């Protein structure tokens, strides 16, 4: 709603304005009750005394209202923190001014509440005691003719007013502490989430590098083998030499692609080698998921989940395998028993598209992780130049990935 009201400067200005209005009304009521109906009937000495009291009341009140702005300087708005005395001393002066001014009384109570809300706890009794003394001084010393209360009645009223003011201030302190704590928790949770996401991306990059280790080593060994054959076999005919050169060229191109992929990831540590997935392993993944109780409907018109006449690059096969694996794992963890529809399509001309969808369970399975696997999956796909989209709308969770063929 009016966001400018939330700015510290505007809040202080509005508080001073409210104190001025309330103090002005109290002052008018007080002086209206004090002055007689016929001012000319007053003795000159009494008229002079009342005029002096009125002048002091107005001057002290206006001074207190001016100092109230300093007393309310923000201490925790995120900007440069003022010196504690910059707001503390004006606040005490405002409270002291209420000893000679009814106009300053609302400002004094605002300062007492501010001390309860923002200052160390020992300052509230100091401000409250000073305010009590100022009220007593005005009521029983400055103008004894207005003495209509006995001391115990005055003390009970002041204790009630100061007690309510303190409760309001302590309530604001508790609310401010709660908001600060919630903000810190939100910042901490966001940083933790970002750290987990970064760890997931780093883990996926390390996994990619580990998977590429065997394939790249194998291709380099083939190049070395065929190049050695050309060097030591002097009796080869031209056709054999041409075919061997073609094999070296194709293997070198494939190894170059693998090497570029390795160099784009951040390999934090050396890892052991593992068997490389193949297209046939994707079909095995689906069969294993069905055996574990997940109903999987596979559509693979292009034969990507088995022996295919056209094979994409090893890095594409690994990415395809990981996408299918992650989708089936997520379905089993977050929506157990829900049917999964898996569609594989593509070829050398258009790349590969993977579309996996499953229903959303009524309640998440206990112990399911928050989905950092998808972050690593997106990292892998984007490193290959592909795209991955995740949609969870309504009662359906869908993963749509596009991969380049990279042959």
Q: What is the pLDDT of residues 118-153, one digit of tens each?
A: 777 778 888 888 888 888 888 777 765 555 667 788
Q: How confident is the model at residue 52 (pLDDT cuts 50, 70, 90)?
A: confident
- pLDDT, tens digit (0-9, with 9 covering 90-100), for 81-105: 555 566 678 888 888 888 888 888 8
pTM for the whole structure = 0.45
Beta bridge partners of 352: 346, 403
Q: How far is CA 42 from CA 27, 36, 39, 253, in A?
A: 21, 8, 6, 113
- First-to-final CA distance of the chain: 58
Task: Return contacts of 286-289, CB within 8 angstroms, 24+ apart.
Answer: 286/324, 286/328, 286/342, 289/328, 289/331, 289/332, 289/340
Q: How confident is the model at residue 269 (pLDDT cuts 50, 70, 90)?
A: very low
Task: Return contacts of 163-168, CB within 8 angstroms, 24+ apart.
Answer: 165/109, 165/112, 165/113, 165/116, 165/128, 166/112, 166/113, 166/116, 166/124, 166/128, 168/113, 168/116, 168/117
The pair of structure tokens assigned to 262 is 């390795």
């Amino acid at each position: 709603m009016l966001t400018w009201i939330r700015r510290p400067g505007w809040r202080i200005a509005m508080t001073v304005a409210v104190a001025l209005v309330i103090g002005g009304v109290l002052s008018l009521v007080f002086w209206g009750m004090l002055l007689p109906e016929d001012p000319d009937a007053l003795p000159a000495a009494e008229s002079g005394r009342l005029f002096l009291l009125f002048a002091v009341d107005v001057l002290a009140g206006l001074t207190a209202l001016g100092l109230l702005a300093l007393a309310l300087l923000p201490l925790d708005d995120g900007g440069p923190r003022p010196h504690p005395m910059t707001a503390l001393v004006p606040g005490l002066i405002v409270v002291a001014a209420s000893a000679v001014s009814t106009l300053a009384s609302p400002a004094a109570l605002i300062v007492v509440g501010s001390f309860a809300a923002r200052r160390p706890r020992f300052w509230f009794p100091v401000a409250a005691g000073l305010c009590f003394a100022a009220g007593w001084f005005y009521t029983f010393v400055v103008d004894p003719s207005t003495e209509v209360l006995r001391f115990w009645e005055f003390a009970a009223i002041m204790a009630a007013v100061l007690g309510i003011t303190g409760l309001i201030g302590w309530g604001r302190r508790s609310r401010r502490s709660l908001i600060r704590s919630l903000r810190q928790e939100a910042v901490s949770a966001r940083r933790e989430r970002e750290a987990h996401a970064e760890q997931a991306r780093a883990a996926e990059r390390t996994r990619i590098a580990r998977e590429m280790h065997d394939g790249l080593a194998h291709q380099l060994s083939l190049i070395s083998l065929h190049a050695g054959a050309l060097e030591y076999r002097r009796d080869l005919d031209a056709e054999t030499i041409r075919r061997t050169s073609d094999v070296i060229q194709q293997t070198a191109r494939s190894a170059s692609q693998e090497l570029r992929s390795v160099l784009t990831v951040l390999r934090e540590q050396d890892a052991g080698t593992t068997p490389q997935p193949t297209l046939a392993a994707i079909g095995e993944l689906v069969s294993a998921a069905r055996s574990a109780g997940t109903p999987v409907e596979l559509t693979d018109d292009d034969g990507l989940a088995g022996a295919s006449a056209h094979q994409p690059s090893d890095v594409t096969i690994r990415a395809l395998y990981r996408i299918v694996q992650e989708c089936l794992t997520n379905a089993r963890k977050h929506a157990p028993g829900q049917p999964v529809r898996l569609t594989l399509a593509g070829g050398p001309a258009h790349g590969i598209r993977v579309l996996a969808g499953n229903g959303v369970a009524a309640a998440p399975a206990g112990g399911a992780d928050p989905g950092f696997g998808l972050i690593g999956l997106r990292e892998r796909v984007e490193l290959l130049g592909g795209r991955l989209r995740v949609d969870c709308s309504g009662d359906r969770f869908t993963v749509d990935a596009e991969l380049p063929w990279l042959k």
